[in-house]
Amino acid sequence: MSFSSHNFPHTPNRIFCIGKNYEEHIKELGGKQTPEEPVVFMKPICNIVAPDETLHYPPYGNDLHHEVEVVLLIGKEGKNISQVDALSHISDITLGLDLTLRDVQKSLKKSGLPWERSKSFEQSAPLGFFKKYNSNKIDLTNLPFSCSVNSELRQKGNTAEMIFPAANLIQILSCWWTLKPGDIIFTGTPAGVAALHPGDKIEVESPMVGAFSWRLA
């Protein structure tokens, strides 16, 4: 299984995903308002796919999109964490893909229904290998990252553009849930999301984190 082939520094607990955390991404999807608090949804841990594993196009939906994101791993339990202490709760960092069936999502939104079928299908959370987080070497307030498909640059982002920066996200999430070791946070995607097709090779990269890729069957 793809999930078991991923070497986790902590046993995975939950996947928190943040929507609408980059202004330009909100605009490209037709949104007009900046959220007043983080938009949170979750994915099952079993949806994780390790690098170099084959992805399979979902059996329903016809518009599969890539969304590259900086991903944080919580290494220390905390409740009502202050922003000053927030980053000390991160043990590791990587990049991931929040794969989204855009046509299904639009239909669900129009009906006022939850997003699970568009966001939480099998293999919807490709995840790079985690790298130990060192705040002296990795600046989470200014971290560039990108997504390319078949060597063509699609998304280019920087955490400096986040509406809710990493420390703020951890602080807010810890007021709603007790964060525990193994919790994974997908922090949102920048503009440039676009359709994927069978045969595509998707690569995500950041100079400080590494490069990871998947092939879509």
Q: Which domain holds residue 192?
A: 15-216
Phi-psi region of 81 (alpha: psi -120 to 50; beta: other; left: phi over 0): beta
Q: Is 29 among the domain residues?
A: yes
Out of 29-33, 67-71, 165-169, 201-205, least confident range: 29-33
Give the per-residue pLDDT at 51.
97
Q: Is 2 among the domain residues?
A: no
Round to whole Å and give the CA distance between 167 and 185: 12
Predicted confidence (pLDDT) per residue in 137-163, tens digit: 999 999 999 999 999 999 999 999 999
Q: Is 3 among the domain residues?
A: no
Please state the rounded mean pLDDT for residues 87-94: 98
Predicted confidence (pLDDT) per residue in 25-68, tens digit: 999 888 878 999 999 999 999 999 999 999 999 999 999 999 99
Q: Is 188 among the domain residues?
A: yes
Give the per-residue pLDDT at 30.
85
Q: Is 20 among the domain residues?
A: yes
Domain containing residue 212: CATH number: 3.90.850.10
The number of distinct structural domains making up the chain is 1
Q: What is the pTM of this model?
A: 0.96
The confidence band for 86, taking pLDDT boundaries of 50, 70 and 90, is very high
Q: Is 4 among the domain residues?
A: no
Round to whole Å and give the CA distance between 61 and 108: 12
